[in-house]
Amino acid sequence: MKHTTNTRVVENIATPPSGVLWNSRFISLAAAIFLAFVNVAAFFQFYQYLGTLTIDPKWFGMLIGLFSAMSLILRPVISPFLHARNALRWILICNAGVMVCLAAYGQAGNLWSMFLVRALHGASHVGLATALMTVIISLIPRDKSGQSFGLLSIVTLLPYAVIPPMLPLLTTWLGGYGNVLVFFAVVMILVFPLVLMGVPEPRESADPADEQRLFFREILESLKDAKIIVLFSVMLFFFSSYALVFYFLAEFGRTIQVAGAGLFFTLSSLSEIGVRLVAGSLFDKGEKIRLALWSLVAIALGYGLLGYVQGSLSLFALGVFLGLGWGVAMPILNALVFDLSRPRLRAFNVNLGLQMYQGGFFLGPFVGGLILLHQGFRVLFTVCAGFTLFSVALLLYLKTKK
């Protein structure tokens, strides 16, 4: 065998252990994914930071959204070209790009320099995240897809619970927000050893076809698969309703005179993490579509009640309730995409599922802003419930086609 060291590493990463989830490769790659999202959560104070620069505030929204826009544009383009043989190379390249961009924010003091840094950071991050997901998906045993995506969703959620409260203290200690981003650039060095850790002795991949890029014909076949398209539609409407709550809840809290409405998402995040830790192993025991249906019905009920809450106790109680529903629905929907995809298309389709998240975070606020111009929060949350019930109807259709 004449393979390079890097090729051997990737071949080993690409060879999934039969029925085993917890192993050194999965844990190290999950840790790398955690760090990839840490560098996103570090921008919780980005809006306030932009206010300290000589940039017109009318561009703040564009600069913030540019990061996600790069994901929407690039992920569908790069996903077909990433596979087990080349993913490691792109992880290393894109992580280096992320580090350079994080360090460069402090040097970007005007609109165009910040636009360039923000766009390059978004491009580097989507390359890093997509390549990491491509590799770790090859390690997921088919009979543990629900548990696997439950754990991965905890990994991607934890940075948003841990990093924002740390930022004020880090800003004081390090002498400014720009230096905080340099600190996180240094932290990202840990990604390099993590993706190389825990690799056993080289051996041939069980399926060499999995180490080739997808062909255009395969992509078209996947996009013609009615089950996958229905699932993507379910996810788009689900994440649109979630984004409506995420972006407008703080203002809703002010209208009902609840101080500290942000605690809603703290409690919901804890609920999400809790249900995935406690019940994650059960996600693969029953029928996933039925589990998704019941969780979405419960979420729709929570949205419907949200417009009628009057005080902090009921608002925070709904945060816990919705967190339990979100904690089940999100990983189950990703697991369904994994289960219903052909092996060579799993990474591509799961990465396209992430596009539905980004699409929902564009569509939801767009629709919500128009609703609040002419209606109130009760109508807004009713629309959230309607979007979710439409997802339920789509899942019922999918259930009849299985």
**Residue 298: its pLDDT value, please?**
96
**Which residues does 374 contact at the CB level (< 8 Å), separation at least 6?**
none
Give 322's pLDDT tier (boundaries 50, 70, 90).
Answer: very high
Burial of 362 (0-12, 13-18, 19+ CB in 10 A): middle
- State the Cα–Cα distance between residues 331 and 150, nearest whole angstrom: 5
Query: Is the pLDDT assigned to residue 327 strictly greater than 60?
Result: yes
Give 13's pLDDT tier (boundaries 50, 70, 90).
Answer: very low
User: Which alpha helices (DSSP H) does 175-262 contain, by range?
Assistant: 177-187, 191-196, 216-223, 226-255
- Half-sphere exposure in the Cβ direction for 379 (13 Å, CA): 10
171 against 157, higher pLDDT? 171
What is the mean pLDDT of the segment spanning 354-370?
Answer: 79
**Residue 317: its pLDDT value, please?**
94
Cα first-last separation, the chain: 43
**Which residues does 113 contact at the CB level (< 8 Å), separation at least 6?**
107
User: Which alpha helices (DSSP H) does 284-345 contain, by range?
Assistant: 288-306, 312-340
Query: Is the pLDDT assigned to residue 75 strictly greater than 90?
Result: no
DSSP calls for 360-375: HHHHHHHHHHHHHHHS
- Of 148-152, 252-256, 259-263, which one has max mean pLDDT? 252-256
383: alpha, beta or left, given left = phi > 0 and alpha = psi -120 to 50? alpha
- pLDDT per position as a tens digit, 227-252: 889 999 999 999 989 888 877 887 88
Among all chains, which residue has been given the structure tokens 């934890």? 158
Query: Is the pLDDT assigned to residue 79 strictly greater than 90?
Result: no
